[in-house]
Amino acid sequence: MTGLSTRVVLATRNEHKIRELARILTPYGIALESPSDLPDVAETGATFAENALLKAREIASVTGLVAIADDSGLVVDALNGMPGVLSARWAGRHGDDAANLSLVLAQIADVPEERRTAAFVCAAAAVAPSGAEVVVEGRVDGTLLRAPRGSGGFGYDPIFVPLGFSQTTAEMTPEEKDAISHRGKAFRALAPRLSELLGAVE
Amino acid sequence: MTGLSTRVVLATRNEHKIRELARILTPYGIALESPSDLPDVAETGATFAENALLKAREIASVTGLVAIADDSGLVVDALNGMPGVLSARWAGRHGDDAANLSLVLAQIADVPEERRTAAFVCAAAAVAPSGAEVVVEGRVDGTLLRAPRGSGGFGYDPIFVPLGFSQTTAEMTPEEKDAISHRGKAFRALAPRLSELLGAVE
């Protein structure tokens, strides 16, 4: 594998995701590029996997490089699996974490403890300009608090307590979170497959 | 059946529902009472039927009369069946029709026409002080517009076009709407069963 072949473009402009994915993928010798001028890709898919592939395909096509993309969200059982693919725009505007989190808390205000179960789900996709592609999913189950706790992470982290833990994912160190997170699991599963795709580029 | 036995208490303070149900049930010789001092009943059920029964049981118990209750909502396929039982409080506060409707429109803004399917569902429950109870469901399928149309009805009526129609349920006359609506179907199915419950009181 040449130096060139380690160039992977990350199809996101979300600073939080860029940082998390750099942490997760660096140990695999994968260097991420995240140009600030990537086009917006409409997330019109009905599933995390569809949206991750939509984004990775578009960015691979535009850049001529292997592109990786993440689509992820919070799956709340009392909301029939929503916000799901709409997690980042649940309150109506894209990327307003505080509004999204407040809305979920208000919607499930009357839901008793035993039904406050949820999961974070992440689809990680990689697409080569040749058209070769792969998508894998990671998931972490947990429960939802009634008020936010912790200042780490982003999105719905302050209300999500993974099964077997007492802290929210916003109260964990980045390393603790990566070890159990949906995104950590998905991209660690993707990493070895990525090498295949990168190899195919050479 | 005595004059007394036609007294049925409606477990709601929603003026729109009181008017609709009076229209629907009057032809069956059922006279509704809707006292303004009914207690609030927490709608903690996971289904329309559970919530309708929760409300009717509480009001039958408090008043000593046969109580009927409605729980209904909009079931949006692209939102995995939500807002569902949360329809009246989807934006976080109870009864803010405009905010609820705007939020649904924003959440499904990127959903293409073929996936903008939805249904109005209504559970109609009747409970006698004796404990006898019955619950039935009515449903109307349709599609969701991208902007509201019409000033009749309430709730999500301005964006809902029933299958086989070109108007929204907010553009129909009350009689046209009742003939096909989830609430019309449910309460017309409930009416004959109500006579049995009323008979059981005597």
Tokens of A177: 């979170």
Quote the ipTM score. Answer: 0.84
Q: Is the pLDDT of residue B66 over 80?
A: yes
Distance CA B174, CA B24 (A): 10
Which of A200, A197, A202 has the alpha carbon at shortest distance from A30? Answer: A197
Cβ distance A78 to B112 less than 8 Å, yes or no, reads: no
Report the Cα B81 to chain-centroid distance in Å.
Answer: 16
Which residues on neighbouring strands pair with residue B123, listed in sequence order? Answer: B71, B137
Catalytic residues of A: 71
Q: Which residues of A touch B80 (CB under 8 A)?
A: 79-82, 84
Query: Which position has the higher pLDDT, B13 or B97?
Result: B97
Could you report the average pLDDT of every consecutive run of 10 residues in chain A (202 residues)? 63 88 90 88 91 96 93 97 97 93 96 95 95 96 98 95 98 96 96 80 47
Nearest to A106 among B82, B92, B102 (CB): B92
Best probe of the A interface among B86, B116, B117, by most A CBs < 10 A, is B86
Name the phi and psi angles at B114, rounded to 5: -65, -15
Query: What beta strand segments (E) does chain A contain?
Result: 7-10, 31-33, 66-76, 117-127, 133-144, 160-162
Distance CA B130, CA B90 (A): 35
Which residues on neighbouring strands pair with residue B75, listed in sequence order? Answer: B83, B119
What's the pLDDT score for residue A121?
98
Q: What is the pLDDT of residues A70-97, one digit of tens each?
A: 999 999 999 999 999 999 999 998 889 9
Q: Which residues of A touch B90 (CB under 8 A)?
A: 107
Report the Cα A27 to chain-centroid distance in Å.
Answer: 18
Predicted TM-score (pTM) of the model is: 0.89
Chain B residue closest to A110 (CA)?
Answer: B44
Longest dimension (CA), chain B: 57
Which residues on neighbouring strands pair with residue A143, listed in sequence order? Answer: A117, A161
Chain B residue closest to A46 (CA)?
Answer: B78
Cβ distance A90 to B107 less than 8 Å, yes or no, reads: yes
The answer, for A111 touching chain B at a CB cutoff of 8 Å, is: yes
Q: What is the pLDDT of residues B8-26, one digit of tens each?
A: 999 988 888 899 999 999 8
Domain ranges of chain B: 7-200
The answer, for A73 touching chain B at a CB cutoff of 8 Å, is: no
What's the pLDDT score for residue A200?
55
What's the pLDDT score for residue B144?
98
**Strands ordered across the beta sheet of B7-10:** B31-33, B7-10, B66-76, B117-127, B133-144, B160-162
- Topology adopted by domain B7-200: Maf protein (3.90.950)
Contacts of B27 (CB under 8 A, 6+ apart): none
